[in-house]
């Protein structure tokens, strides 16, 4: 993940839109648009507040991390054959959906990922079946499939919200200097699970605070010494 840090810096926590979204990744613009309309119509029917966003495949795999983070993506629907179309000034990419899913899973282990394809029996796709939550056929993309997507999104969101809440509690505890060793371990695990960039400087920061406090103490002592001298 060479560009991970760069993307974090680029997108940070300044999310463009805080609404949770489902992203459709497809090189065919017409197909992408139809899938988006369809998904939106069914989500509306299911009274879902989830939004839908569609995107032409990024040239680099690593661009997806920043995209998921900044757009608050909570599920992805990826076409298998991503390498055919070009768009405006963007050339066709050289990977397919089952390659992309492996890369995304390296970081987002539990994010719901679906594939929407004309060839669900494709042997390359079938080999990667464990990486996906579901493989859907474009011919059978109905409300039934969309309700499966919706449930997966909610489950992912709930798990994420619980863990974010625990994460907030622990960080506050540590911030006020009441954190114990167990809190540090939990925080580290949650950071990994929630894909928050690890900050291994916490202990160093504490030491720095101690050092800072010592410096303040030293200044206090200096102030007393100065006052004593002046009063002589």
Partner 1 sequence: MAKSEIELRAELQQLLQQNNSDYRAIFKLTRELSKLDKNNQHFFVDAKTIIHLGRDSIKDHTTALIELVKNCYDADACNVDVDVYCKNGLDYIRVSDNGFGMTRDDLINGWLHIGFSGKRISKHSKTGRRKTGEKGIGRISADRLGGIIELVTKTKQDGIIGLKVDWDEFDVDGKDISDINVEIFYPNKIKTPNRDGETSETGTEITITKLRQSWSVSNIENLYYELSALTPPFNDVKDFQIELKNDVAPSFSRRVNSEFFKASEIELTAVYDGAGSDILYTIKDKYTNKEIVQSIKWQQLLTKIYKTENPESSEDLKCGPVSLKLLFFLREAASVQGTEFKISELREFLDNNAGVKIYRDNFAVKPYGFPHSQFGYDWLELAERKAKDPAGIGRGGESYSITPNQLIGAVFISRDNNIDLSDSAAREGLVESESFYDLRNFVLGSINMLETHRANIYPLIEKSRESKKPTASKEAEQIQLQLFSVKEDLESIKNEMQSNSMKSASSLEIRPIDKSIEKVEDITKKVDKTISELLNWNRVLSGLATIGISSTVFGHETEGSISLFTNATDNARMLIRSNPPEIDTAISEIDKALKHSKKVASWGAYALTRVQREKRSKKLINIKKTVDNVVKELKPAFEASSIKIESKGESLVSKTYQMDIESILINLLTNAYSACNIKGGIRRVIVNVEHEDKKNIQGYNLCVSDTGPGVADEFKKRIFEPLFSTKMTASGNSKSAGTGLGLTIVKSIVDDLNGNITVSQDAELSGAFFKVWLPKEK
Q: What is the DSSP string of 33-84?
A: HHHHHHHHHHHHHTT---EEEEEPPPSSTTHHHHHHHHTTEEEEEE-S--SS
In this structure, what are the phi and psi dihedrals at residue 133, rounded to the nearest 5 degrees? Answer: -80, -45
Q: In the bound complex, what is the minimum distance in angstroms from residue 34's beta carbon to partner 1?
A: 5
Q: Which positions from 52 through 111 interact with partner 1, judged by CB under 8 A?
A: 59, 81, 83-86, 91-96, 99
HEC assignment per residue over 81-123:
CCCCCCECCECCCCCCHHHHHHHHHHHCCCCCEEEEECCCCCH
37 sits near partner 1 (criterion: CB under 8 A): yes
Q: Which is nearer to partner 1, 97 or 179 (CB)?
A: 97
Total number of residues shown for the chain: 232
Q: Which is nearer to partner 1, 34 or 191 (CB)?
A: 34
Number of residues that bind partner 1 (CB under 8 A): 31
Among 17, 118, 192, 199, binds partner 1 (CB under 8 A): 118
Site residues, partner 1 (CB under 8 A)? 28, 30-31, 33-35, 37-38, 41, 44, 59, 81, 83-86, 91-96, 99, 118-119, 123-124, 137-139, 141
């Amino acid at each position: 993940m060479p560009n991970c840090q760069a993307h974090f810096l680029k997108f940070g926590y300044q999310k463009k839109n805080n609404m949770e979204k489902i992203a459709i990744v497809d090189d065919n613009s017409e197909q992408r648009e139809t899938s988006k309309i369809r998904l939106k119509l069914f989500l509306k029917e299911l009274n879902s507040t989830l939004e839908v966003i569609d995107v032409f495949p990024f040239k680099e795999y690593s661009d997806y991390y920043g995209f998921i983070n900044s757009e608050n993506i909570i599920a992805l629907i990826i076409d298998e054959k991503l390498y055919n179309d070009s768009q405006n000034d963007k050339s066709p990419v050289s990977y397919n959906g089952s390659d992309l899913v492996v890369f995304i899973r390296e970081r987002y282990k539990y994010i719901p990922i679906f594939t929407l394809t004309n060839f669900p029996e494709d042997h390359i796709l079938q080999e990667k079946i464990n990486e996906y939550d579901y493989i859907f056929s474009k011919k059978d993309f109905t409300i039934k499939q969309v309700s499966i997507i919706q449930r997966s999104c909610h489950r992912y969101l709930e798990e994420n919200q619980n863990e974010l809440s625990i994460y907030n509690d622990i960080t506050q505890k540590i911030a006020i200097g009441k954190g114990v060793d167990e809190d540090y371990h939990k925080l580290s695990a949650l950071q990994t699970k929630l894909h928050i960039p690890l900050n291994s400087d916490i202990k160093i920061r504490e030491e720095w605070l101690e050092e800072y406090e010592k410096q303040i103490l030293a200044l206090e002592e200096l102030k007393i010494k100065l006052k004593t001298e002046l009063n002589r």
